[in-house]
Structure 1
């Protein structure tokens, strides 16, 4: 009997304040959708980082004088620098590229793009190098600073700036999504407060009668709390559905070319499923706390 009464009160509240409830649902949906988008960008950035760390490298070029007497990096100082690099934290691998190997790779690249230029390519401009791949992008700077002036090193090719620019874009997109979500969360909170106040005001007579016949304060306020939570649940479901659609019609289409060349990690259905429970929980907590606080402050009966 009590459950039927509470459910009927929740339905009454929805029907009487339909426009406010719809506004609360939509605002909550957009808020959680932006939050979910930020979480998806974080997941994409983390997976993309692994892709880049497998590709991005530093090259420490060996001086011509060292290369002439030690073309295979089998003696010091080249071998010592290689050993020191391999023992440095954050370094995944160190590969020696001889001058001949660098020349052959460079000529092959020119033959593919401009065969007429490849005929004039000579080995002399190419340098032997130690190719270093990192397992921790935060160690790029320390490794570069430590070895760029090591004995036998003539210069460094550093790809950190490329990595930083790419991840700065991802970080910016994530931060923008979170800022918008925070602003919309404030709007959702205000809408919940207003909806609960209006609902309580329109049913003030019923609440007063129930209190007179012995109903507890919690029992009379529970329908208002459930209204807010139910609206948040509906909003969360809409947000989750929107993320699935965004994955198909936005991320896959807008970023399809980058996915194809394996520059950015693909956002998958599993990623959306992973963030979905957190969005649902966030919506329920946001609505529940706001509604409860409003009832405690505003509704005194």
Structure 2
């Protein structure tokens, strides 16, 4: 017990003696793991948005109109019989096994939706119902089956084209995933800075206490008794920084995503503060492991016992 008390006392004394360097380690660890936490939150948000959007992913079957190109609609505008055949495909035909639900959108409804989405723009004011396509909106059982549904309706008489939101969503999620990678690269650079700073701090601490270390060797102190306080010093400083990063992660998830963005962007499910608790243990563990490893390597290299 006396050995443990001595090691703790030496660690606290060293932390007080090297306050400036310890504060530097805490701040750099806070910033680096803050980036790691932000990247983890971004990926969690992307995953949640992916699941949410895929659950609402619609396939649009656009029907031929008077304005359709001859190449796409050689038989002219869709007839009542063709429209009924498409409805039969959706209810009891080949497409029914892939479709969870469907709705018909008339040209007038398409115009109203278009004008509502565009507001008071000049283009919306000049568009008429005849300019808008009639369509069937399909919600799929499995969104990944959209290529099969597209193929089923592509050659059906009365159908001008089949479109889905997959390509747009892929572009959005590609951008978000790219931002996550950029944040992770910045975090990796900052973590490297943290490791180097921890090593430098331990080296300076070992150098300033070289006389005490020599005396301890002469009186027969074990290697672990001499080395452990230096290692604990680095771990304590890094863990303190990781706790600040955990707090920042919670603030971002709770207030930026869970409250502010959810009020600004309606229709998207955002993560909240509770989700950040999944990330926090990893940040603390990462800080402890990196600081412990770098401190151990530095002590073995520069502290001869």
Q: TM-score range by the shorter chain?
A: 0.7 to 0.9
Deviation string 1:89-147 (CA, Å, 9 cap, x unpaired) is xxx635152xxx41342354478668xx99x955x66655342335666555x347634
- Structure 1 segment 177-192 matched on structure 2, within 5 A: 177-192=183-198
Q: Secondary structure at the match of 1:151?
A: coil
Q: Distance in 2 between matches of 1:170 and 1:176?
A: 10
In the alignment, which residue of structure 2 is the partner of 1:84? 94
Q: Which moved more, 1:28-37 or 1:192-201?
A: 192-201
Alignment match of 2:288 (pick from 284, 287, 293): 284
* Deviation at residue 52 of structure 1 after TM alignment: 1.8
Q: Is the aligned partner of 1:102 residue 2:106?
A: yes
Single out whichever of 287-296 and 152-161 deviates more from structure 2: 152-161
1:216 is displaced (CA, Å) by: 1.6
How many residue pairs match? The answer is 287
Match of 1:131 in 2: 137
**Residue 300 (structure 2) pairs with residue 296 (structure 1):** yes
Deviation at 1:215, TM superposition (A): 1.8
Deviation at 1:234, TM superposition (A): 0.5
Q: Using a 3 Å threshold, how does the CA distance of structure 1 residues 139 and 16 change in structure 2: closer, same or farther? A: farther
What corresponds to 1:262 in structure 2?
A: 267
Partners of 1:135 and 1:30 in 2: how far apart? 44
Tell me if the contact between 1:93 and 1:133 (Cα under 8 Å) persists in the aligned partners. Answer: yes
Cα distance, 1:258–1:52 mapped onto 2, change above 3 Å: farther
3-state SS of paired residue (1:255)? helix
Q: Distance in 2 between matches of 1:111 and 1:290?
A: 61
Tell me, what secondary structure is at the counterpart of 1:42?
helix
Cα distance, 1:186 vs structure 2: 0.5
TM-score, length-scaled by structure 1: 0.81
Q: Does 1:237 align with 2:247?
A: no
Deviation at 1:162, TM superposition (A): 2.7
Match of 2:54 in 1: 53
Match of 1:150 in 2: 155
Distance (whole Å) between structure 2 residues aligned to residue 300 and residue 135 of structure 1: 67
Q: Distance in 2 between matches of 1:213 and 1:131?
A: 84
Structure-2 change in CA distance of 1:62 and 1:109 (3 Å):
closer
1:266-293 deviation line (CA, Å, top 9, x unaligned): 2311012221111111111111111112
Aligned-pair distance for 1:193? Answer: 0.9
Paired with 2:264 and 2:170, the residues of 1 have a C-alpha distance of: 17
Alpha carbons 2:55, 2:143 under 8 Å: kept: no
Does the 8 Å contact 1:58/1:158 carry over to 2?
yes
Query: Does 2:204 match 1:203?
Result: no
Which residue pairs with 1:275 in the alignment?
279
Relative to structure 1, the CA distance from residue 26 to residue 110 in structure 2 (aligned partners, 3 Å threshold; closer, same or farther) is closer
Q: CA RMSD in A?
A: 3.2
1:68 to 50, 57, 79: 79
Unaligned runs of 5+ in 1: none
- Per the TM alignment, residue 12 of structure 1 is displaced from its structure 2 partner at its CA by 2.0
Asked if the contact 1:94/1:130 (under 8 Å) is kept, the reply is no
Using the alignment, how far apart are the partners of 2:197 and 2:114 within structure 1?
A: 63
Q: Which of 163, 173, 188 is residue 169 of structure 2 equivalent to?
A: 163
- Normalising by structure 2, report the TM-score: 0.80
Distance 1:149 1:107, change over 3 A: closer
